[in-house]
């Protein structure tokens, strides 16, 4: 099983993010089950952060789609590694607009916590990059 976590800058207008997230999520829900890809997509402050897991060739194919998608620019992989098992087996894809302060349900929070506590063996610099990418207004500050 392989895991990729990436960040990217959203190129659209802030007023369009709800529609774009809906479209991205629906496309993923339609396509990912056939590829056995699972994960989550987060949006905050003009940035995406996505966690995807599956077989490496399938994830690489998806990453080609993401980098070609005009809604994304500055795609940066912050984790790209083998993992012992799938962390989001029940999530063929979902998205969260953190800019709208959408509340995660207790079950969703538990799934995310378990993924991080049990399945990630991330290096400390990856964790720092992850948080910076979600909170920074300008990735150039640390890239």
What are 29-54's pLDDT values in tens digits? 899 889 999 888 888 878 888 889 99
pLDDT of residue 70: 94
pLDDT of residue 8: 92
Residue 127 has pLDDT above 90, yes or no: no
Residue pLDDT, tens place only, 59-99: 999 999 999 999 999 999 988 988 888 877 766 677 767 66
56 within 8 A of 15, measured Cβ to Cβ: no
Structure tokens at 97: 């607009």
Q: How big is the CA angle at 79 (ends 87 and 89), to the nearest 5 degrees?
A: 15
β-bridge pairing 38-44 and 94-97: parallel
Q: Is the pTM of this model over 0.75?
A: no
Domain positions in the chain are: 2-141
Residues forming a β-bridge with 79: 5
CATH 3.30.70.100 correct for 2-141: yes
């Amino acid at each position: 099983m392989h895991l990729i976590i990436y960040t990217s800058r959203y190129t659209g207008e802030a007023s369009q993010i709800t529609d774009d997230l809906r479209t991205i999520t629906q496309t993923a829900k339609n396509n990912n089950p056939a590829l056995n890809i699972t994960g989550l997509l987060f949006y905050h402050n003009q940035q995406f952060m996505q966690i995807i897991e599956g077989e490496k060739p399938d994830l690489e194919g998806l990453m080609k789609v993401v980098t070609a998608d005009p809604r994304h620019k500055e795609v940066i992989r912050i984790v790209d590694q083998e993992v012992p098992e799938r962390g989001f087996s029940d999530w063929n894809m979902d998205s969260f607009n953190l800019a709208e302060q959408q509340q995660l349900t207790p079950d969703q929070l538990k799934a995310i916590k378990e993924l991080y506590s049990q399945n990630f063996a991330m290096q400390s610099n990856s964790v720092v990059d992850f948080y910076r990418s979600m909170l920074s207004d300008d990735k150039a500050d640390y890239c």
